[in-house]
Amino acid sequence: MIENTLRIEKLKQLLSDQDMALAECHIAVNRQIRKWLIWLISEKHSSNKTIDAYLADLQVFFSFLTDHLGDYANIEVLEKLSLQDFRSFLAMRKSTGLSARSMARNLSALRSFFRYLEKNGILSNSDIKNIRSPKIGHSIPKPLSPDMSKKLIDQVKNVPRGKPSEDDDWVDARDMAILILLYGCGLRISEALNLNGKDLYAIKSGVMSIIGKGNKSRLVPILPVAVDSIKYYQSICPYVSDATDPLFYGVRGKRVGARAIQKKTEKLRYLLGLPESVTPHALRHSFATHLLTAGGDLRTIQELLGHASLSSTQIYTEVNAEYLKNIHEKAHPRNR
């Protein structure tokens, strides 16, 4: 609640200049865009990335409308937009080489904005509800094997370094602790990096509450090896983590960014000769796949991952089938 309030105040501050147009549209529409952004934070608990992406999508849409209609769009124009208008926008986006997934997100942003306008009695446009989303190709997550997951983490300390420094040991300990959290607990990288000093008590107790997408909370068991790795990192880290301080620091004393962990994973990938599909998020995929292979049920895995829908978790049944097939082909005597 406090975090959302701070985000809303920050957004209001950014939008305080009345002359700053968020998009190429009538001032009344810009006013509604502002209110919609605040609603996304306060009511929908949307992430900063979603807010940024949706705003960028609307800016492109209204820029298109200016060219398409020959003038800035007002409320009345938005209410009268036809199915053909929305299709023309998507056709324009497709002509620029935009992927089907990105086009689907464009449409999601528009639908969200128009739903907000209808909910608040500003306008009603039925055609935006009838346009179909672009078909998105079905992709399956690519997990690592249990042995390779362990090897990836164990090799953190062996990644070639640039200029040796006294910081190397604690940075390696930090990166190892983070990767263990991703693989051992199924955390998203953002969830691991957002941990603060106040979370240490729960971590040491073996179960902690994680705030995931949509500001939703879930309980996650913490493996002893993860607890030990965090304790070791803390014992040699030059920075202290008080309640509101980050648990995982960067070398300059601020919260470590995701890019630092991604770069370390890239170096590990090169060191071990692994494909580009091996990313920090692949460790989360590996967590889910290995639990399912070991007999874990989908509902439990759904809760551990923080998926809002079981359909998001069900994709791992496809991964699991392919994974078991590969093991069978490699291990069965008749396939040798």
pLDDT at position 313: 77
The CATH number of the domain covering residues in 2-130: 1.10.150.130
pLDDT at position 45: 80
pLDDT at position 293: 84
Backbone angles phi, psi at 269, to 5 degrees: -60, -45
Which amino acid belongs to residue 10? K
Question: Across the strands, what pairs with 255?
Answer: 249
pLDDT at position 193: 95
Q: Domain spans of the chain?
A: 2-130, 146-335
Beta strands in the chain (DSSP E): 207-211, 217-221
pLDDT at position 225: 94
pLDDT at position 18: 43
Q: How many CA atoms lie within 13 A of 265 on its CB side?
A: 22
The model's pTM: 0.68
Q: How many CA atoms lie within 13 A of 191 on its CB side?
A: 27
**pLDDT-flagged residues of the chain (< 50):** 17-19
The dihedral built from the CA positions of residue 76, 79, 82 and 83, taken in this order, carries a sign that is positive
pLDDT at position 294: 84
Give catalytic residue positions: 188, 213, 281, 284, 307, 316
What whole-number distance in Å separates Cα of residue 102 and Cα of residue 89? 13
What whole-number distance in Å separates Cα of residue 294 and Cα of residue 137? 29
pLDDT at position 89: 94
146-335 shares the fold of 2-130: no
pLDDT at position 140: 76
Under a CB-based contact definition with an 8 Å cutoff, are residues 54 and 109 in contact? Answer: yes
What tokens were used for 46? 């949307």
- Is the domain defined by 146-335 classed in CATH 1.10.443.10? yes
Instruction: Note the maximum CA span of the chain.
Output: 74
Buried b (16+ CB within 10 A) or exposed e, 305-319: bbbeeeeebebbeeb
Instruction: Count CB-CB contacts under 10 A for residue 42.
Output: 15
pLDDT at position 17: 47
What whole-number distance in Å separates Cα of residue 237 and Cα of residue 250? 10
What whole-number distance in Å separates Cα of residue 117 and Cα of residue 28? 12
pLDDT at position 309: 79
DSSP-derived letter for residue 92 is: H
Three-class DSSP category at 207: strand
Q: Is 15 exposed, middle or buried (0-12, 13-18, 19+ CB in 10 A)?
A: middle
pLDDT at position 163: 62
If you search the block for the tokens 């105040």, which residue do you land on? 9
Buried b (16+ CB within 10 A) or exposed e, 44-55: ebbbeebbebbb
